[in-house]
Chains A and B, each alone.
Chain A
Amino acid sequence: MADVIKKATRESYGEALAELSAEYPDLYVLDADLAAATKTGIFKKACPERFIDCGIAEANMMGIAAGMASTGKKVFASSFAMFAAGRAYEIVRNSIGYPHLSVKIGATHAGISVGEDGATHQCNEDIALMRTIPGMTIINPADDVEAKAAVRAAIDIDGPVYMRFGRLAVPVFNDKETYKFEVGKGIELRSGNDAAIVATGLMVNEALKAADMLAAEGINARVINIHTIKPLDKEIICKAAKETGVIITAEEHSVIGGLGSAVAEAVTECCPVPVVKVGVNDVFGHSGPAADLLKEFGLSAENIAEKVKAAVAAKN
């Protein structure tokens, strides 16, 4: 097997914006003094006249983005997930969500893999918060290829979009040549009828590894990548529920209100089956290297595989 290339999706985000700058002369990027970290600095370098630094004032930045979008410009507003979805929540709801303005929120440093900065910066609640806003599209890409495709797709979506990117370099497993991104459509990466692993973001790659481990033990787990958490692809999830009888969700987010909750809500209506959630279990994180934290908080292929085995055993 060739060496796995690793890249942080925040990097993909910055590169994608820079690539799109020529194609979209009305594209503007806002940041709140984090351009070096969110990687909008890549866009700034390519296109300084269309980069606006709002300073450390995320609430105002979201309002600026709303006002600009109301005049027809294509606007991306960036900060860490904690501040974009957390601190600025009410501005996102009332100034962007309620008037359904086409502001794209590029939220980086999501989840526990922020690492050493610790709990104040590890946002495990952003998906839950954003899901409650009517008309908000939420995209959580799994790797570089998907992240770039998602940014390209988001730019033409009519209405607000929350995009979630990570700080940690993660394996690039999608094939750039064949990958197709469709908003709101899940992707079945592995077939299997013993159980279904529904994953998002960096947990998709862990789900694939878990499926390999399980296959070695004779368990065929289906793997579904849900890059768009809202609107959720209920069809692919309900089909999985019917055909496998048990779902294990995997996300780098609280088990409250994120992908696991969304999937559970969906199957409750269409085909009630057990839904086992792998995520951050309603606790704050703490400082440490990202890789160690992911293991410690159970955000690993090993933990997914274990949960699948237990769920399959319970089913039979």
Chain B
Amino acid sequence: MDASLKKQLEITACKVRMGIIEGVYNAKSGHPGGSLSVADLLTYLYFHKMNVDPKNPKMADRDRLVLSKGHTAPALYSVLAQRGFFEPDELKTLRKIGARLQGHPDMKHIPGVDMSTGSLGQGISAACGMALSGKLTNETYKVYAVLGDGEIEEGQVWEAAMFAAHNKLDNLVAIVDNNGLQIDGKITDVCSPMPITDKFEAFGWHVITMDAHDFDDIERAFSEAEQISGQPVAIVQTSVKGKGVSYMENQVGWHGSAPNTEQYEQAMSELRAQLEKLEG
């Protein structure tokens, strides 16, 4: 990847992380850990990969993204705000009465949200429906679905996985965010979905692995995905839950809790330092 583009994406991802912390802190609840682990992925997709138009969020031939791990809505909202779908200031209204920014994505009211999600395992099916729809009438759009590694414990994910391969949905890319943690602990301790890559391969998908926090590697993975025809692609990204905020990294406790004022200040100061370094 071009060095200046990479730097630009890193800067944007850092701002996205600040938006996540801003939202969750003001809401006094929400899911920072998994939001931070998909921040780079969503930044890459919305700023480099996807054909979207913030002025026309319902554009018929737009690429679509389904955040199947809907609890990480703060990351999606923050990316959409950075991309111009709405003002970043609105992130402070997250989860508040009267706000559009619901605790989980709401396609009816939030510009840029392509599917309402939140109940795990459901988004991937809707993404398959969008991809199939595109195939049936020869549309050119792509569909991206972002799943959690804990989420794939849901049986519906595998119904969808079977369906996607059977229908040769090569306009669909599912990204599994493998940060290794779910609410009750390590995914390998709770009810292990491992090995993830072998499972998707066995279901007929083309599987790619990538480092979730390295834009060069992200670019490599999505370039490979683009070459695949006749089958859906699963990208299993190795990520760090809480990435970018030192005390949140790899800590299961930050799955679904908000920072207090002191913690908020520390997170923002760490992210500001990262931003200054990138911009400096």
| Contact surface of A with B, Cβ cutoff 8 Å | 28, 50, 52, 54-55, 57, 59-60, 62-73, 90-91, 94-95, 98-100
Contacts and interface: CB of A to CB of B under 8 A. Distances in A.
Closest 9 CB pairs of A and B: A67-B129, A63-B125, A60-B159, A57-B159, A67-B126, A64-B129, A99-B116, A67-B130, A71-B133
Contact of B130 (A50, A59, A70, A90): A70
A153 B52 CA distance: 35
Contact of B125 (A60, A69, A72, A98): A60
B132 A94 contact: no
B60 A70 contact: no
Given A91-B119, A91-B156, A95-B126, 18 more contacts: A28-B136, A55-B162, A57-B156, A59-B159, A60-B128, A60-B159, A60-B160, A63-B160, A66-B115, A67-B126, A68-B133, A69-B129, A71-B129, A71-B130, A95-B115, A95-B119, A95-B125, A98-B116
A67 B118 contact: no
Contacts of B106: 98-99
A90 B155 CA distance: 13
A65 B132 CA distance: 10
Contacts of B128: 60, 63-64, 67
- Would you call the interface of chain B mostly helix, strand, loop, or mixed? helix
Interface string B151-177: 000011001101100110000000000
B190 interface: no
B133 A67 contact: yes
Nearest to A62: B125
Nearest to A103: B129
Given A62-B125, A67-B126, A99-B108, A94 B159 contact: no
A63 B119 contact: no
A83 to B, nearest CB: 13
B132 A68 contact: yes
A55 B132 CA distance: 15
B35 to A, nearest CB: 20
A98 B109 CA distance: 11
B124 interface: yes
Contacts of A68: 129-130, 132-133
B201 to A, nearest CB: 20
